[in-house]
Each structure stands twice: as structure tokens, then as C-alpha cells.
Chain A
């Protein structure tokens, strides 16, 4: 049973592997036939529209919308929880929907509060 399940999922991994193996030769062929001139070190500088790059490439970046990332961490998991209910709803009694409605209400209220807070840019 477990082996059967694993074999079903293994085809996805095999597809991933096949795609990588089938497209890697394109890079190898390119490496073989394309010209490789290493005479000019300026060529290997990062792209900055023709200017000589200044500062580090991996800089600090102002996370202006950081609140959304925090919300994603919580609500993505909750969205997947709803699938556990949605896929088994046909075999559940009708009264089982009420707790889920309550769950949805809590989720929606929490999301509304978080969105309201995320608009206050001065606290982020």
C-alpha cells in the first residue's frame, strides 16, 4: 500500500529528472560550440546599464510589504486546511458545516484585522 502510493508519486520526480536530463545537453552543447573569450574582465561585471557597478549586489532592501509575507505564512496553511474539509464534505453530516463556518469567520476576521494593520506603513 505504502509502496504503491510512493510509486504513484515517484513518477512526478521522474518527470522532474527527465526534464533536467533532457534539457541539460542544451547547456553542454552551448558550452562546446559557443565562443568563450575571457580577455575582457569588464564583461563579467553585473549588469548596471553600462555603469561600473557600485556597492554589493546583495544589498539590504526595504521590505515595504513585509506584513503580507507574515500573513501568507499563516493563511496559506489555513487555506490548505480547508481542503481537508472540502474533499470530505459529501460524507460528513450537515451539522459539521457549522464549525467550519465559524472557522471561516475567525479566519476572515483575523485576515481583515491583519490587512488593516498592514496598511499602517509607519509601524513596519
Chain B
């Protein structure tokens, strides 16, 4: 229960703030700055504009934004920044964790519950942090006869494979970790690792429920991989490329979902099955086989598998956006910056901005990221929605759906794409 402190006085509140400020200033000057200085003395510093940077110069740059701007900009085009922060791991984890919270709240609203409420003052917004702390402090129990190295490694590999999937998703023009010509094939290759990791985890646990769950996961992923692969062939036929950035660029005027709705629907259903979401959550059917292949995972290992599965959810939703909904394309909502401001700086009344190169990102970038996140959020909403609506599918009906109906529909989709190509609507010299 969150209760306001019984003896709340404004003066004491101010006193606590000033106390904290005092200690922060004391600690930063006495400990923080010397530590930065000492670290800088031991770091190899680069040559910048024909001048070897000494620790004192680097120290003064750190607190002088005008001078450190080029360093920040040069850091932002490195591979490490892309992998760790923006289109890579940090961005995906941020979106995945927010999806976990939104799912819990949304599911609660669908089922006329309240959902997370007490932790944090506003609508239980700190619930996720509390859950994380709880998971870290819980004991990890590994079954006695389990194959320990594989059992411990499998959650890590699951997160790693999900992150490798994220690496292939272009978020904004030029902002992709791995921009490769065979992007779509690489996506299929990465998706192919998930059933292997699932079966490894379930086999190494040496327990019956994970084993049944792992077998089910194998069947499910095997029967939905072919519809998943074939449903994207229509887009490849019409664009003639496998590079995901080029597929997005080809949708500048219209998204492919308008012309290939059958492929989009099949891909969406196959995506739900690959993500093990309800109605296809047979591998972790909690009312039949305890928790399926996750039964023996406890504490932070379970947390890592959940994190990986939500990163995977984000990656699949982003793939749907990239291929069928036009990725970052959309109307410019932020006006572009003036040339003068970017190159020389500007004086507006009392405010003077005289830092050339201050805008770190262009406004096109912000617009692209805005549209990408908006579309991804919409797709994630439709992925989460069936969980509150549908029951679970029986396994023979699931295999039936994958092998009979969806594969038939993907062939239909291929012939729609061929008809569009040969009727002269798309392709070289086409109408659109």
C-alpha cells in the first residue's frame, strides 16, 4: 500500500532536497572528479585535429558541450553504439520491458481487473522494477540430474538469438546494426535457432513437463516455419530484393499490405505461433503441462527467458512493420531545421545558439523513428489482443492450420504477386 508519509511538512521536504544536494556536491568534488582524472591518465587518448589529446584537455572537453559534440557524434556512428544503444540492444530492451507492463495493464482492462496498481504512485508503474528485484533475489534451483552447462546457457542463448534478430531490423534510414543484402534470409536463419534452443533447454532439464513442452514447441515451430517463409515471398517478387532497408524504401508511396493482404494475414498468424502467444501457446500451456518448457527455470533464469521472448516479440512486430506496413515511411510531422541553425548558429531574441552541428539527429530521423514506433506499437497491440480473447488451440488443429490452410494461402499469395507483376502494375515499366 502506498501511503503519504504521516508527518509531511514542506520545510522538511526542502531540507531533504538541500541535504541531498550538499552531499552530492561534496562527494562529486572530493571523489568523482579525482576519479575521472585518474581514469583519464591511464586511458589511451586519440589524436584529434593533429593534436594529441592530454588528460587535462579531455577533462575540460567533458564539461564543455561545444567541444565534446564532435566526440559524441563520432561515438554515435560506431558499431558499438548501434549494437548497444540505439537500433540494437538498449532500444529493444526498453521497448520489450514497456511491452511487458502494457500487456499486464491491457489484459487486466480486457478482463475487467485492475492489474498492477500499488507499486509506484501512478497505476503501478514501478511494478516491473519490483518484479525484477524479486527475480534477482530468488534462489536459482537447478534439477539434480540436469545437464548444467546447457541448462544455464540456454536462457542466455535465447536472449542472444532474440538480440541477433533485432540486429537485422532497420529502424530509420541508415540506422540498422547489420545492413546486409540477404537480410530476409538471415532473418529466417536466426528464427531457425529458437526451436533448437527450446529443445536444448527442455532436454537438458531432465524432467517430464519441460520435455513435453519442448516436443510441442518443436512441432509448432516446424509447422509454422514454412508458411512464415513463403508468406514473405510475394513481397520479394514485387521488390526484387532481399535487403530489408530496400524493402522499406520501396514502400515510400504505399505499404505492401494493400496489395498483399493474404500474405500479411498468413505472416501474422505464423508470427503468433512462432512467438508462442495465445491461441498458439501450446509449448507453455499453463493449464495442461505446468509451464511447458519453462517449468524447471527459476528466478533470474526464468526472467531472462521472458526478456528474450519479449525482445523476440518486438523483433517480429518490427519485421511485420518493415515488410508490410512501410517501416519508417510516413508524413513529416516535425518541420526540418533551418540550414543557418545547423551550420552557423542563430540568435533568437535574448537566446543565442552558436554551436555549429548542435542538432545531433536530423528531423527526418525523428519522424522516421516516430512512425516506426507508432506502427510497431499498433502491431504489438494486435499481437497482445488475442491473449484476452481466444482459448488455446488443440495440437492436431494447430498442425492442420499450419500445413493445410496457411500453406495453401501462401501459394495463393505468390500467385497474386505474380499476377500483379505480369499485369504490369509493378516491376520495371509498371504502372505504380
* Minimum CB–CB distance for A58 against chain B, Å: 6
Residue in B155, B188, B208, B225 whose CB lies within 8 Å of A59: B208
Q: For the complex, is A72 an interface residue (Cβ under 8 Å from B)?
A: yes
Q: For chain B, residues 268 to 285, give those with C-beta under 8 angstroms from any C-beta of chain A.
A: none
* Minimum CB–CB distance for A116 against chain B, Å: 11
Q: For the complex, is B422 an interface residue (Cβ under 8 Å from A)?
A: yes
Q: For the complex, is B427 an interface residue (Cβ under 8 Å from A)?
A: yes
* Minimum CB–CB distance for B385 against chain A, Å: 28
Q: For the complex, is A52 an interface residue (Cβ under 8 Å from B)?
A: no
B162 touches A19 (CB 8 A): yes
Nearest A residue to B212, CB-CB: A61
Nearest A residue to B208, CB-CB: A57
A12 touches B211 (CB 8 A): no
Report B-chain residues with C-beta under 8 Å of the C-beta of A86: 233, 236-237
Report B-chain residues with C-beta under 8 Å of the C-beta of A108: 411
A30 touches B143 (CB 8 A): no
Interchain CA distance A18-B79 in the complex, whole Å: 12
Q: For the complex, is B159 an interface residue (Cβ under 8 Å from A)?
A: yes
Looking at chain A's contact residues, is the secondary structure mostly helix, strand, loop, or mixed? helix
Report B-chain residues with C-beta under 8 Å of the C-beta of A36: 139
Interchain CA distance A122-B419 in the complex, whole Å: 42
Residue in A14, A16, A48, A65 whose CB lies within 8 Å of B208: A48
Interchain CA distance A45-B207 in the complex, whole Å: 9
Q: For the complex, is B136 an interface residue (Cβ under 8 Å from A)?
A: yes
What is the total number of residues of chain A having a CB less than 8 Å from a CB of chain B? 64
B230 touches A15 (CB 8 A): no
Q: For the complex, is B160 an interface residue (Cβ under 8 Å from A)?
A: yes
Interchain CA distance A91-B240 in the complex, whole Å: 9
Q: For the complex, is A8 an interface residue (Cβ under 8 Å from B)?
A: yes
Interchain CA distance A100-B311 in the complex, whole Å: 37
B208 touches A35 (CB 8 A): no
A69 touches B143 (CB 8 A): no
* Minimum CB–CB distance for A112 against chain B, Å: 9
Give B311-350 as 1s and 0s: 1 = Cβ < 8 Å from A's Cβ atoms: 0000000000000000000000000000000000000000
Residue in B236, B241, B300, B307 whose CB lies within 8 Å of A30: B300
Q: For the complex, is B58 an interface residue (Cβ under 8 Å from A)?
A: no
* Minimum CB–CB distance for A111 against chain B, Å: 7
B138 touches A43 (CB 8 A): no
B137 touches A30 (CB 8 A): yes
Q: A19-B162, A30-B300, A46-B206 are in contact. Are A61 and B140 (CB under 8 A)?
A: no
Residue in B143, B233, B237, B399 whose CB lies within 8 Å of A45: B143
Report B-chain residues with C-beta under 8 Å of the C-beta of A16: 160-161, 163-164, 167
Nearest B residue to A90, CB-CB: B240
Residue in B139, B156, B167, B179 whose CB lies within 8 Å of A15: B167
Give A63-91 as 1s and 0s: 1 = Cβ < 8 Å from B's Cβ atoms: 00100110110011001101100111111
B137 touches A19 (CB 8 A): no
B203 touches A58 (CB 8 A): yes
A27 touches B152 (CB 8 A): yes
* B37-45, B62-70, B215-223 - the one binding chain A: B215-223
Interchain CA distance A31-B180 in the complex, whole Å: 39
Q: For the complex, is B304 an interface residue (Cβ under 8 Å from A)?
A: yes
Q: For chain B, residues 283 to 318, give those with C-beta under 8 angstroms from any C-beta of chain A.
A: 290, 295-296, 299-301, 303-304, 307
Q: For the complex, is A39 an interface residue (Cβ under 8 Å from B)?
A: no
* Minimum CB–CB distance for B164 against chain A, Å: 4
B166 touches A15 (CB 8 A): yes
Report B-chain residues with C-beta under 8 Å of the C-beta of A41: 144
A82 touches B209 (CB 8 A): no
Give B245-287 as 1s and 0s: 1 = Cβ < 8 Å from A's Cβ atoms: 0000000000000000000000000000000000000000000
Interface residues of A (CB under 8 A from B): 5, 8-9, 11-20, 22-24, 26-27, 29-31, 33-37, 41, 43-49, 53, 56-59, 61, 65, 68-69, 71-72, 75-76, 79-80, 82-83, 86-91, 94, 97, 104, 108, 111, 115, 118
Closest A-B pairs by Cβ, 6 of them: A19-B163, A46-B207, A57-B206, A90-B240, A15-B167, A30-B300
What would be 7 A-B contacts, judged by CB atoms less than 8 Å apart? A16-B164, A18-B163, A20-B157, A29-B300, A33-B136, A43-B141, A111-B407
